Structure 1
Amino acid sequence: MKIDARTVARVMKEISSWRAVLLYGDDAGLIRERAVAAVRQIVDDLEDPFRLARLEGDEQSRLEEEALALSLTGGRRVVWLREAQDGIAPMLERLLKQESDALIVLEGRGLGPRSKLRTLAEKHKKIAAIGCYPEEGRALSRTVTDTLSEDRITIDRDGLAWLMGHLGADRTLVRGELEKLRLYAGENGRLTLEDVHHSVGDSGGASLDDAVYAALAGDRFIADRSLERALADGANAIAFARVTLNVLERLQQVHLAMKDGKSRVEAMGALKPPVFFRRKEVFGRALDRWSYEALKCAASDTQHLEWVCKQSGGVSDAMECRRHLVRLCHPRAGTVA
């Protein structure tokens, strides 16, 4: 049964009432987080070999055997299969017609709408089919504030705005950055923009900033080096696209303010959050090279990049980022400032 996004939280709390759960989508970190949560509802010890059977993608043929096996120590068993593929759909359908109380947890990252396994799960009344996609906008902002509030930590508006533009799309990476902020702030702490910079500034997100600003300023060497560092640190194409769009939007805002009669200093000073002092010089160089029209074209291309990478499932995302970075080094002819 396909689970509506609005009811996922409730279904996850009652996952033990299902025979199987299929977790699919683009966010590998969220898929893994929910898989662990589902398993823990039945088995406390994830290392228990008697009640938990872990299967990798090349072990899918053992699914039925493991699901029908009896627990030697008593209690309900769990079969946890990673990299589930369409080939197990007939086996799963046959298995669910047999008597067994084992919970089957399937990780199916990348399964498309036409996938046989996903189609079966979304229609079968005994399977919870849950989509796992990157959080954006209000959902991501709520995750940030809710996580920090667990330690009664508050974050100011500028700090939250900067953080929202630099968090990656993968749940695991987001959680990692938030844990760093929790440790930095401490219980009952308050985070400012400067605090967020200090805590998150050395992560892949900061390298993405360096890459985008250097490209827009025309420094190909620094742009390439920073992007490679970011990718090596775990940054992905969605995070790259979001950082790029954020920078392009801020440059457009300054251009518009200058057209309205403000000086460059006044226009940059009006940005919220303000330009990080170490990037004011490179921000100015980018402003000199790019016209408002060129920035609009680049933003449109970046939105297309994000769409393409969401559809591809990560197959060639890194290469797409590298190509896009090269394009950012060169404003379109006829639209240079």
Structure 2
Amino acid sequence: MGLALCPRRQSWKKRALKISSSSVEQLLRQPLPKFRAVLLHGPDNGLVRERSRILVQAAAGTPPDPFQVSDISATEARKDPALLIDEAATFPLTGGCKVIRLRDVTEQDCKTLKALLATQLDNVLVLAEAGELRGKSALKRLFEDADDAAAIACYQDTTNAINHFIRTFCEQHHLEVTPSALDYLVQHLGSDRMVTRCELEKLVTYMGENHSIGEADAVAIVGDSASHSLNSFAVAVADGSDEHIARTWTSLRLQGTTPVQALRATLRHFQRLHYVVTSAALGKPSNISMKSLRPPIHFSVREAFQRQVGIWSADKLGRAMLILTEAEAHCKKKGAVGEVATNMAFLQIINAAKKIKKDAAPLHH
């Protein structure tokens, strides 16, 4: 059953409709309360575009009928305030629902969109695509409070969401993915939904007639210089290496690495350390535990990893993991809060690493 889109104007009123992130994927594919307008907003621009595409297809078919869809930039609409209303009043040559997709919307477009939503128009769906909006955004309130409208937030995927998306994507393409390959893909994807999809589509092409994705396949397609730099950065954090951290962090930021990606890579490193340390406490030799890790420890950091296993305790590793997890949660907040929280988290762990190294160093008389 498709979405209940493009309704004729209804007389009923509703309370503010803000679709939660936990239910949005299901709601996009099942009948929704009838609405004529949807605001898609958030820091994950790729997810904004993907959800917009799903709604366009639900209203105008797959592939969408080009006569039914109008793509307009907010810049164009600002130059001609009547453009949106004129476009909405134009009936598609082939009939059906008219879809207006307005790209790059900001707070300054609130007045224009308010006028459009107040217009008596039948069989029209307006999709407004915006970036991250502040908590008390007038634009969000407009869509949440208006009749027949809704707001959908598009945040960066959580680890569980990335895992689910990759597995679902592979199933749709009749591909199996090994646990180690899945772990690698989850660690290296997820900062932007469209980037994740493009990388997986490249992987599908690469696999050809082979229907089982192994870790080597994932590394061959998704692996890049930033991946190794992220790993080196995480190792440097656990080592308390100021100079290496500063140099690598600058390089990663220039490559477009987000704070969330850096936090996740560092968390993954500490989780691996924690596994080896706790296994050793239970009697399993650390070298055996290290060999069992997937993906394998890169030869360039193997010595540092072994050294860190010898000086970090399970309790301190647990505390470091908690700091990183809390910092990622802060990254979902508005503005520079996430950036500050990320820097503070790394600084706390680096200082702890320095103290741990100092305490573990042999005394010289």
Q: TM-score range by the shorter chain?
A: 0.7 to 0.9
In structure 2, the gaps of 5 or more residues are 1-16, 361-365
In structure 1, the gaps of 5 or more residues are none
Distance 1:227 1:148, change over 3 A: farther
Preserved contact between residue 331 and residue 342 of structure 2 (Cα < 8 Å): no
Aligned partner of 2:10 in structure 1 is none
Q: Which amino acid aligns with 2:270?
A: L
Distance 1:63 1:148, change over 3 A: farther
Distance 1:71 1:199, change over 3 A: same
Aligned partner of 2:47 in structure 1 is 30
Map 1:243-322 onto structure 2 (within 5 A).
243-313=265-335, 315=336, 321=342
**Percentage of matched positions with identical amino acids:** 27
Aligned partner of 1:99 in structure 2 is 120
Preserved contact between residue 166 and residue 242 of structure 1 (Cα < 8 Å): no
Aligned partner of 2:213 in structure 1 is 191
Compute the displacement of 1:156 (Å): 0.9
Aligned residue for 1:312, secondary structure, equals coil
Q: Which amino acid aligns with 1:52?
A: S
Q: Which amino acid aligns with 1:268?
A: M
What count of residue pairs does the alignment treat as equivalent?
Answer: 336
Preserved contact between residue 152 and residue 187 of structure 1 (Cα < 8 Å): no
Compute the displacement of 1:171 (Å): 0.8
Preserved contact between residue 153 and residue 185 of structure 1 (Cα < 8 Å): no
1:232 aligns with 2:254: yes
Distance 1:143 1:176, change over 3 A: same
Taking the aligned partners of 2:67 and 2:30, their CA distance within structure 1 comes to 24
Q: Which has the higher mean CA deviation after the structures are superposed, 138-147 or 291-300?
A: 291-300
1:119 corresponds, among 133, 137, 141, to 141
Taking the aligned partners of 2:223 and 2:32, their CA distance within structure 1 comes to 38
Aligned residue for 1:80, secondary structure, equals strand
Aligned residue for 1:104, secondary structure, equals strand
- TM-score, reference length from structure 2: 0.76
- TM-score, reference length from structure 1: 0.81
2:186 corresponds, among 140, 164, 175, to 164
Aligned partner of 1:136 in structure 2 is 158
Q: Which has the higher mean CA deviation after the structures are superposed, 256-265 or 153-162?
A: 256-265
Aligned partner of 2:352 in structure 1 is 331
Compute the displacement of 1:38 (Å): 3.2
Aligned residue for 1:234, secondary structure, equals coil
Aligned partner of 2:3 in structure 1 is none
Distance 1:39 1:64, change over 3 A: farther
Q: Which amino acid aligns with 2:139?
A: L
Distance 1:112 1:241, change over 3 A: same
Q: What is the aligned-residue RMSD (CA, Å)? A: 3.6
Preserved contact between residue 80 and residue 106 of structure 1 (Cα < 8 Å): yes
Distance 1:43 1:227, change over 3 A: farther
Structure of higher CA gyration radius: 2
1:71 corresponds, among 69, 77, 90, to 90
Q: Which amino acid aligns with 2:55?
A: A
1:81 corresponds, among 85, 95, 102, to 102
Compute the displacement of 1:317 (Å): 5.5
Q: Which has the higher mean CA deviation after the structures are superposed, 12-21 or 279-288?
A: 12-21
Compute the displacement of 1:110 (Å): 1.8
Taking the aligned partners of 1:176 and 1:328, their CA distance within structure 2 comes to 34
2:235 corresponds, among 210, 213, 217, to 213
Q: Which has the higher mean CA deviation after the structures are superposed, 150-159 or 117-126?
A: 117-126
1:18 corresponds, among 8, 32, 35, to 35
Compute the displacement of 1:85 (Å): 3.4
Q: Which has the higher mean CA deviation after the structures are superposed, 71-80 or 213-222?
A: 71-80
Q: Which amino acid aligns with 1:66?
A: L
Aligned partner of 2:14 in structure 1 is none
Taking the aligned partners of 2:339 and 2:110, their CA distance within structure 1 comes to 31
Compute the displacement of 1:278 (Å): 4.6
Distance 1:232 1:316, change over 3 A: farther
